[in-house]
Structure 1
């Protein structure tokens, strides 16, 4: 026989899962309703003609990424390399 504590935990997990599932489904339903209302209001016009990443070459994106990482972690890298790590 399962102990009372284990039964309470199982019941709590089941009720919590059901509650979270209901909340997620309601949020999804609201999101889909909002999207369909906006599509009906503004039509199915796409506001973006081309993908954002296609406007830059891959080398430019990699260069920007490397600059951002260097700027963010530059002082940490310098301190670790000065200690011989």
Structure 2
């Protein structure tokens, strides 16, 4: 992608090698978990706070993957107990 401008306040995208995006703070992680759990599952406040503390240093994609993986655990635990339904 190339961005060119004659204005000195505009960043030239082709000259930028890296853009630093800081990791989420505790409040942002808390809000992310609340949003992901909304409507399907709720955690007691103490467990939510423990999760927020234990995920310090996780990136947004790490947190997303963690939530997706956690959502699959109940399905895996069903194992062979999952029923097969015929369409007929």
Normalising by structure 2, report the TM-score: 0.30
More helix by share: 1
Of structures 1 and 2, the one scoring higher in RCO (CA 8 A, sep 6+) is 2
Quick check: which has more Rg, 1 or 2? 1
Q: What is the TM-score normalised by the length of structure 1?
A: 0.31
